[in-house]
Chain A
Amino acid sequence: MRSRVNDFAIKLANVNGTGSASANGLIMQAIFRMGVPVSGKNLFPSNIQGLPTWYEIRVNHNGYTARALDYDLIVAMNAQTYKRDVQEVRSGGYMLYDSSWPLDESLNREDIHFIGIPLAQMCNENFKEPRERILMKNIATAGALIELLGIDAAVVAQLVEEKYGRKKALRESNQKALKLGADYVREHYTCPLEFHLETMHANDDKILIDGNTATALGCVYGGATVAAWYPITPATSVMDGFKEFCEQYRKDPETGANNFAILQAEDELAAIGMVIGASWNGARAFTSTAGPGVSLMNELLGLAYYAEIPAVVVDVQRVGPSTGMPTRTQQGDILECAYASHGDTKHILLIPANPSECFEFAPKCLDLAEQFQTPVFLMSDLDIGMNDWVTPKLTWDDNYRPNRGKVLTSEQLDAAKNFYRYLPEEGTAVPFRTLPGVNAKGAFFTRGSGHNKYGVYTEMPDEYQEVMDRLLLKHKEAAAYVPEPIIQKRDGARVGVITIGGCDPAVREALDILADMGRPMDFMRIRAFPFHQNVLDFLAEHDYCYVVEQNRDGQLCTMLTIETPVSKDKIRPVLIYSGFPLSAKNVIDVITSKVEELDAIYR
């Protein structure tokens, strides 16, 4: 039997709007503080109160933190999903339920253990207010879990102290509820269970942070001064974070002024318009949105592309099409963003896999947008953006200076014979631009209508085409400046597995398991479009490649086949797109279903 210390997964099923988030967070943070690798996935509904919500916690001493599909313990607190939840407990696992009422006979399973705690009854006896009774039920559950899972009680006490230090009443109710749950299980069950926690030191240099917060911080560090947005799940917390950090770091100590402007726009058409206006005028600007917002932004993204104006769009992807499932995750906007807008357009995409990369790529997006005078997308998603990830502490290089791109100064303009907006120097496809308010000699009439390389209106076929061809070259030129793919090779591998973004931990885990099964495969996580040369090399080096992504149509596969020389029959899509974060099991199931093909290669 495998070691059950620091290696298990639990799932808490609740009704949303009942305050379970605070209890979930407490458990997650306590495990983190015990130094054990952990991940928490919040599977929540697009609703304020009354619908099912789940929180999954996986601990793994080896650091595998992708979603687990095999639950050792399920806390079933939602009658609506009871039936389904009970089926998800692994054989021999546990189900924790509220025994204030008898367990429904039909839900019984022979092969699992039941832990009944009279939670409602205990809370009714110990707390007066109806609201408090509901909230403290969650905390009492947490108290039980702390005992059952061997979570360090001192760590929990410290957390409660930090959180409610000054709010005496709240602190005392929390302490009381925790004790109620803990005392009850200690008396009635053997604690801890055979799977439980023990202190490690894996998190000394780590933090617990969500991707949206990290993105916001990256935008502050990268020097963004104008942010325009329209509220949308799962992107809203990017702007919440940006605002908070700006209030903290961007109040001018001398003038007291806000060294930033946050504009809550009337819609996403306006939000991107504001970003373009601000960038045109020399500020670093960005917007954050999700797929529906990008759909609205399409027209102006084409304007920015064609008129060559920097613009940064943070797309925290959610499940489409249409409104889709706003609180579920997907990688469904890849094609939409890569080719956003009518006519021939191509944009730069940076694709982070975790909060660290969100922080790292945000300034990079601002740099690339100005360097290449074009829209750049940060392709995050709900799983990365809204879940807390254990991540190395973010660090910053104080030598960093923003790359503001080719902008002519007043002196340069005075010295120049003349200025033509779209006429680049030899050896590059990027022309110089000028900013308003600098020098009348740099005055230029920006337009989205046909223009020639001198920046003058045109409808001449050759003049139009010349500019369009240069724009394509400009996009290609960016390939050398975008983050290169992460590649991990294994001895004896002939097949490659390609993935993007938040699929990273699940795919890595799957490849470790496959290697143990005697099927070593090479790994590549693509981090940007245009594709880096290393992406093309990886494709060329392998007999064929699986491409793991979270959408129905294999959007990354499509891009690989149209943007690289790889032949279509060398690409094997592995598409998991139901809206929940990926698990290694999802990946292995698909890959091993093609056993014959694999056997032919690994004979």
Chain B
Amino acid sequence: MPSIVKPKVAHPSLVRNELGLTIRDYEGSMSTLCAGCGHDSITAAITRALFELSTPPHMLAKLSGIGCSSKTPTYFVGGAHGFNSAHGRMPAIATGASAANRTLTYLGVSGDGDSLSIGLGHLCHAIRRNLNMLYIIENNGVYGLTKGQFSAASDVGSRSKKGESNKMTPIDPVQLALSLGATFVARSFSGDKAQLVPILKAGLAHRGFAIVDVISPCVTFNDHEGSTKSYKSTRGRYNVATESDFVPHASEIVAEIGGVGQTNVTMHDGSVLRFTRLPENYDVTNRQAALDYLKAHQGEVVTGVLFADESVPEMHEMNNTPAVPLGSLPFEKLCPGSAELAKLMEDFR
């Protein structure tokens, strides 16, 4: 079979998580992306986050659209079902999937083209539904897979590899999500794994829609002088607005939480998003504070968890769906039967 299968040998010294699994169990097949592509670093961070959270592989659903970024779900958690759908349509597919089975963990991977152009409408509406998922935009400011066209995330003045300059204003997914009422909004950088892993973990634990915009340089089409999403430019303008750590539910360090100068957000499952550094007067549960901060720091790449609110009902709570997957309900609970039908027929006379 012409697939690139990774050899899966777990060295006995490898650390095991609560399920007794090693990080190898959270890997997928070998990446076929360009060497040095930011997306691969994000894959590594996702792998690490899921391993550390001890997510049972078969209880994870990985979904994506189309693009280099959208290819990556094959590269992590081979034991999870994946759905590489159509360009821009992942939020819709994820909405239906979630509607059918709320017991799984949903993780979506998208690109800036996938999410901010062709699929922008679906993204907005997934935010409105507060769909319970982690939604990652691997943002390289370019269409990678179709070879280097500007995307809606390209900054004004940013130059393409061919030298053209972008004149149109970009769509910033973070500001967009904040203004649409998203309940968890973060930005990070593929090159900052130390920041990214806890953010992803918090996003996975979040009740509702967690969107993480990850700047992810495209080494082939957008890592040159003049690109504002290159490694160099991103590092130069990097602003860590908030520093945070993720403390899983019932973990031993829980006792440490609540120290002086710390702000905590308790996630729905009891785990804690612990902010070790917040800008002065920054309230992470205040949407306007996040928008104001972004405005004050225009031109910088502001990163960290910028907003989190655990109090908003997610889609299933709004719809009052049962705890079990809808597809698993016994037919007897779904079909009213012939006697009810006979009764109902009298209403149509």
Contact = CB atoms under 8 A, between A and B. Distances in A.
* Chain B associates with chain A: yes
A258 B322 contact: yes
B74 interface: yes
Contacts of B338: 395-398
B281 interface: no
Contact of B104 (A257, A284, A437, A447): A437
A220 to B, nearest CB: 7
B154 interface: no
Nearest to A265: B92
Nearest to B90: A273
B333 A458 contact: no
B101 A281 contact: yes
A273 B61 contact: no
Interface in A402-452: 402, 434-440, 442-449, 452
B321 A258 contact: yes
Contacts of A277: 63, 83, 92-100
Contacts of A396: 335, 337-338, 341
Interface stretch (A13-21, A247-255, A509-517, A542-550): A247-255
A283 B325 contact: yes
B222 to A, nearest CB: 24
Contacts of B89: 269-270, 273, 299-300
Given A263-B99, A282-B325, A283-B326, A223 B334 contact: yes
Contacts of B219: none
A460 interface: yes
B99 A436 contact: no
B260 interface: no
B255 interface: no
A280 B83 contact: yes
Contacts of B325: 281-283, 437
A225 B100 contact: yes
Nearest to B29: A445
B59 interface: yes
Contacts of B99: 226, 228, 261, 263, 274, 277-278, 283
B162 interface: no
With most chain B CB atoms within 10 A of its CB, the pick from A272, A281, A396, A435 is A281
B83 to A, nearest CB: 5
Interface string B269-301: 000000000000000000000000000000000
A259 B86 contact: no
A82 interface: no
A259 to B, nearest CB: 6
Q: Is the interface of B mostly helix, strand, loop or mixed?
A: helix
Contact of A303 (B79, B85, B348): B85
Contacts of B323: 255, 257
Given A299-B86, A449-B84, A436 B331 contact: no
Given A226-B99, A270-B92, A444 B82 contact: yes
Given A281-B61, A440-B58, A443-B58, A226 B349 contact: no
A275 interface: yes
A266 B122 contact: yes
B3 interface: yes
With most chain B CB atoms within 10 A of its CB, the pick from A207, A257, A445, A448 is A445
Contacts of A283: 99-101, 325-327
A454 interface: yes
Contacts of A452: 1-2
Nearest to A460: B2
A438 B60 CA distance: 10
Given A221-B341, A454-B1, A252 B322 contact: yes
A258 B319 contact: yes
B85 A273 contact: yes
B57 interface: yes
A270 B96 CA distance: 9
A270 B336 CA distance: 29
A123 interface: no
Nearest to A439: B58
Contacts of B256: none
Contacts of A220: 334-336
Contacts of A273: 85-86, 89, 92-93, 95-96, 122
With most chain A CB atoms within 10 A of its CB, the pick from B1, B2, B3, B348 is B348
B251 interface: no
B85 A437 contact: no
Interface in A297-320: 299-300, 303
Interface string B147-180: 0000000000000000000000000000000000
Interface string B97-134: 11111011000000000000000011011000000000
B240 interface: no
Contacts of B97: 277-278, 280-281, 436
B37 interface: no
A115 interface: no
Contact of A443 (B80, B125, B328): B80
Interface in A200-251: 207-209, 217, 220-223, 225-226, 228, 249-250
A51 B321 CA distance: 42
A208 B349 contact: yes
A276 interface: yes
Contact of A249 (B98, B328, B340): B340
A372 interface: no
A202 to B, nearest CB: 13
A249 B335 CA distance: 8
B9 interface: no
Contacts of B84: 445-449
**3 closest Cβ pairs, A-B complex:** A277-B96, A273-B92, A274-B96
Given A443-B57, A444-B82, 6 more contacts: A225-B100, A265-B92, A265-B95, A270-B92, A282-B100, A397-B338
Interface of A: 32-33, 207-209, 217, 220-223, 225-226, 228, 249-250, 252, 255-263, 265-267, 269-285, 299-300, 303, 393-398, 400-402, 434-440, 442-449, 452, 454, 456-458, 460
22 contacts: A208-B348, A221-B335, A223-B334, A228-B96, A252-B322, A256-B320, A258-B321, A259-B326, A273-B122, A276-B85, A276-B96, A281-B96, A283-B101, A393-B342, A396-B338, A397-B338, A436-B97, A437-B61, A443-B58, A443-B79, A445-B81, A452-B2
